Structure 1
Amino acid sequence: MKVLSKFTARPAMDGDGVNIKRVADFMNTRFDPYLMIDEIKSNDQQDFIGGFPPHPHRGIETFTYIRKGGFEHRDQLGNVKAIRAGDVQWMSTGSGVVHSEMPLADANEGLHGFQIWLNMPAKDKMRPAIYQDTTGTPNPVVSNDSGANLKALAGDWQFADSPQIIAASIQGLAGNGAIADLMLNENGQAQLDLSAHQSVSVFIYQGELEYVDISGMQAKATEGQLLVIEPELNTHIKAGNQDTGILLLAGCPINERIVHMGPFVMNSQAEINQAIDDYQQGRFGEIV
């Protein structure tokens, strides 16, 4: 695994006082098409009980993955869904979505989940919104003989030594995005074929990874770090001396100018101003 660059998640707060860890880049888009990875991980309800009251989005895709606990999602399109452990939810917000995400009352053993933002190409930013989740279609899971367990969350995945394509039920993310949850046992390893992608990042949410850095020295990356890696036909990913969990984020860079303000990501300041006006004038609709 050749590491090109490394980032560390920083503490942040969003919604109604929800404590998160965030890796984001809205300026240089060094992990394009991805813009932001937020992780919520706490057994203390005070860290997330306020949830995310109604708020808008335009010009991005939000991808939510829950590992423990859950949220109730509501939006102006009429979707009302309980997103629980193991579930994925994808919204291609396009011209506009108003939604809320509030902790489930019966999810009282803590919360661990992610919300990932992907940029949308300019040609799609004003199309109608698309909503999809996996509450009725479990994500496919495959294992190898070296202590690796891969859950396909979006797009297609493949172990380098196997012809089997692991296809997630959610397809069509912006920038040909593909997302997977890879669990490795202590000193476990996986060989993945990532050659179909132009950009691949690895976010470590548990444990540690071992790799050789650009100077040829052995190195480790730990929980809360994001690595941008070289997409290769045979990418070797190896855990350290503890069980390790990572999110794999792959895709093709969109390579377009970005103007970002809060929940809106567009291509010019004029488009941002229009998004603000449209929301203030009620053109996004309301949650019923």
Structure 2
Amino acid sequence: MNREIQQLIPSIVASEGAGVKIKRSLGQGPNGRHDPVLMLDEFNSDNAADYLAGFPAHPHRGFETVTYMLDGHMLHEDHLGNRGDLKSGDVQWMTAARGIVHSEMPQQLEGKMRGFQIWLNLPASEKMQPAAYRDIAAAEIPVVTLASGTTVKVIAGYLEHEQKTTTGAVSGKTTQPIYWDIHIAAGTTETFSVPAGHHLFLYPYEGQALVGKQKRAVNVSTAGLLSDGEHLVISAAGSETLRALLIGGKPIGEPIAQYGPFVMNTHEEIEQAINDYRSGALTAS
């Protein structure tokens, strides 16, 4: 069964951190999630005023953040003593779980800063596990070139191609996340095998995608939520190479209670998270 577009969520301009300008598609509100993905933010500017203030120290509990840099240099520091430089092509996979306080600050005064951050939910059984953090260098992420010339950077999940399977830099998680960066030349159509039952969406960040047998258009900076199925057909429309993210995972199917940087299952757990942050218990070992 081929996947088709079920819903389009165009990005809106927003501000996060200390005033960083972003575009937000998923996560605009409670009805804008795609379990297990809670949010997708895109940042893209060569004007330092749009990003220089960065994201000073702030808390998280109950989910994972995944930051993928296309261009630029950010520095991560957290209360656990982790310190990581995130440069072009790199990924940071941070599991906030029971609690983390971290900052993400630009390490450049000029030039392009471009990338994405998703929030990936955790099941109730994992929300209070110890926090974890991993920097993934660009060189550690497999890039597959298909017969058509299409390339797929397999950040998470696995890609089945030409009777082979390529496992991404991240695997083995409960939500079985998929995170691919796909480049398809103009006028080319590609068919991908994807796991049935996963919630997936396509997010073009350059060019326009035509999806499925219906060839429904998905414009740049728009999340196209996909129906279920085992195959995904994508064409690159127009004269521009399509560069798009395919993101998703196995749905958790649990209630979500969210207050800012805390994502739990009940309002009582949110109140506990707030109290733990205020008292310092959120980051206690």
TM-score category of the 2 structures, normalised to the smaller one:
over 0.9
Partner of 1:249: 247
Deviation at 1:284, TM superposition (A): 3.0
Question: What SS does the aligned partner of 2:281 have?
Answer: coil
In 1: Cα distance, 2:151 partner to 2:138 partner: 21
Of 73, 76, 98, 1:95 maps to 98
The one-letter code of the counterpart of 1:145 is A
The within-5 A match list for 1:138-149 is 138-149=140-151
Distance 2:151 2:218 in 1: 19
**Residue of structure 2 equivalent to 1:155:** 157
SS of alignment partner, residue 195 of structure 1: coil
Q: How many Å apart are 1:219 and its aligned residue?
A: 3.4
Equivalent in the alignment of 1:271: 269
Q: What is the CA–CA distance in structure 1 between the aligned matches of 2:114 and 2:70, rounded to whole Å?
A: 5
Question: Quick check: 2:42–2:116 contact (8 Å CA) kept in 1?
Answer: yes
Structure 2 CA distance, aligned partners of 1:69 and 1:136? Answer: 13
Task: Give the superposition deviation at 1:204.
Answer: 1.1
Q: Is the 8 A contact 2:6 2:224 kept in 1?
A: yes
| TM-fit CA distance, 1:196 | 4.5
Instruction: Say what the alpha-carbon RMSD is for the aligned residues.
Output: 1.9
Q: Secondary structure at the match of 1:175?
A: coil
TM-score normalized with structure 1 length: 0.91
Superposition pairs of residues 166-177 of structure 1, within 5 angstroms: 166-177=166-177
TM-score by length of 2: 0.92
* Count of equivalent residues: 280
Verify the 8 A CA contact 1:175 1:254 in the aligned structure 2: yes
Letter in 2 for 1:220: A
| Alpha-carbon separation, structure 2, partners of 1:104 and 1:15 | 15
231 and 158 in structure 1: CA distance in 2 versus 1, 3 angstrom threshold: farther
Whole-Å separation in 2 of the counterparts to 1:171 and 1:78: 25
CA contact (8 A) 1:137 1:169 kept: no
Q: Deviations over 1:100-144 (max 9, x none)?
A: 000113x73211111100111111111111211212852100111
2:20 aligned to 15, 18, 21, which one? 18
Aligned residue in 2 for 1:119: 121
Q: Which runs of 5+ in 2 are unaligned?
A: none
Whether 2:36 is the aligned partner of 1:33: answer: yes
Report the identity percentage.
35
In 2, the alpha carbon distance for the partners of 1:170 and 1:104 equals 26
Give the aligned partner of residue 81 of structure 1.
Answer: 84
